[in-house]
């Protein structure tokens, strides 16, 4: 089966045709996928649904992606779920999103698939900005799954890449101020350890047709392979996902060498 896929290659968008019916053992080198889940509102508008219904369809798509990650033995999945800038959306939409977050975290907390597959749930970002009831749901699911290690899912919520770097810098400054850290000890490794996420994605996928990074993991993605698809997030298919994995297998990752 062949799938058309829009990818970034040599600084421009190209139409590529990718074989998607062959998965090889080479995917052992692929450990961490990050996704910018874009297009829920446009999907809702396209089908004449409320924006809330679009976000709900997007949440349901996530369950499919988790199944695919388990199938292909991906060890870590990071999802751009709610940015710092999303707080500036209409209050009614933000309220709906908070409701959906609480609903699905409550559902996942007791989901057999989560526990049978030993899936750890982490939330990265300035979660103290969320309402108390949502913060409680976050604490409950992270505590209940903290010892799992088969697949780690990081939900980037109240997240911004620049904000993450600022928070890390503040933490280091505090440690230097109180003599817990010598300034000569500051290096890239230490700085990475102070970030919300101390893990670099192999692949970043953005759905929805836009080709921006949108303040997502600027420190961690300097050598990630980026893929941009035209499909809106609720429409994202296993065929596209598998095509991206195969395209990744064909790319040469030189890390500046």
For residue 68, is it within any domain?
Answer: yes
Q: What is the pLDDT of residues 22-55, one digit of tens each?
A: 554 444 479 999 999 999 999 999 999 999 999 9
- What's the pLDDT at 21? 45
Task: Spell out the SS3 assignment of the chain.
Answer: CEEEEEEEECCEEEEEEEECCCCCHHHHHCCEEEEECCCHHHHHHHCCCCHHHHHHHHHHHHHHHHHHHHHCCCCEEEEEEEEHHHHHCCHHHHHHHHHHHHHHHHHHHCCHHHHHCCEEEEEECCHHHCCHHHHHHHHHHHHHHCCCCCEEEEEEEEECHHHHHHHHHHHHHHHHHCCCCCHHHCCHHHHHHHCCCCCCCCEEEECCCCCCCCCCCCCCCCCCEEEECCCCHHHCCHHHHHHHHHHHHHCCCCCCC
Catalytic: which of 6, 15, 21, 38? Answer: 38
Catalytic: which of 6, 64, 86, 200? Answer: 86
Catalytic site residue 246?
Answer: no
Q: What is the pTM of this model?
A: 0.88
Catalytic site residue 40?
Answer: no
For residue 87, is it within any domain?
Answer: yes
Q: What is the CATH number for 231?
A: 3.40.1180.10
Q: What is the pLDDT of residues 196-240, one digit of tens each?
A: 999 999 999 999 999 999 999 999 999 999 999 999 999 999 999
Confidence of residue 10 (pLDDT cuts 50, 70, 90): very low
For residue 238, is it within any domain?
Answer: yes
For residue 167, is it within any domain?
Answer: no
For residue 181, is it within any domain?
Answer: no
Domain count, the chain: 1
- What's the pLDDT at 256? 79
For residue 234, is it within any domain?
Answer: yes
Exposure on the CB side of residue 140, measured as CA atoms within 13 A: 16
Q: Does residue 132 register a pLDDT over 70?
A: yes
Confidence of residue 15 (pLDDT cuts 50, 70, 90): very low
For residue 58, is it within any domain?
Answer: yes
Q: What is the pLDDT of residues 86-131, one digit of tens each?
A: 999 999 999 999 999 999 999 999 999 999 999 999 999 999 999 9
Full residue range of the structural domain in which residue 113 is found: 31-161+202-248
- What's the pLDDT at 14? 40
Q: What is the pLDDT of residues 143-185, one digit of tens each?
A: 999 999 999 999 999 999 999 999 999 999 999 999 999 999 9
Confidence of residue 251 (pLDDT cuts 50, 70, 90): confident
For residue 215, is it within any domain?
Answer: yes
Report the share of the chain in percent with pLDDT over 90. Answer: 85
- What's the pLDDT at 245? 96
């Amino acid at each position: 089966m062949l799938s058309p896929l829009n990818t970034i290659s040599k600084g421009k968008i190209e139409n590529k045709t990718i074989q998607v019916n062959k998965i090889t053992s080479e995917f052992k080198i692929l450990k961490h996928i990050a996704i910018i889940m874009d297009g829920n509102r446009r999907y809702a508008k396209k089908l004449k649904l409320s924006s809330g219904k679009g976000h709900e369809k997007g949440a349901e798509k996530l369950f499919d992606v988790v199944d695919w990650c388990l199938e292909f033995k991906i060890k870590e999945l990071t999802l751009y779920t709610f940015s710092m800038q999303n707080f500036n959306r209409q209050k009614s939409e933000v309220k709906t999103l908070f409701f959906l977050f609480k609903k699905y975290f409550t559902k996942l907390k007791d989901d057999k698939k989560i526990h049978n597959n030993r899936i750890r749930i982490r939330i990265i970002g300035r979660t103290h900005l969320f309402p108390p009831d949502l913060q409680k749901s976050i604490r409950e699911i992270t505590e209940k799954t903290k010892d799992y290690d088969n697949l780690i899912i990081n939900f980037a919520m109240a997240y911004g890449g620049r904000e993450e770097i600022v928070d890390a810098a503040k933490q280091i400054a505090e440690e230097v101020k109180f003599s817990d850290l010598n300034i000569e000890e500051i290096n890239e490794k230490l700085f990475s350890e102070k970030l919300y996420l101390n893990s670099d994605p192999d692949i970043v996928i953005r759905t929805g047709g836009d080709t921006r990074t949108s303040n997502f993991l600027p420190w961690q993605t300097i050598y990630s392979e980026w893929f941009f698809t035209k499909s809106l997030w609720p429409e994202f298919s296993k065929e596209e996902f598998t095509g991206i994995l195969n395209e990744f297998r064909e790319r040469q990752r030189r890390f500046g060498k």
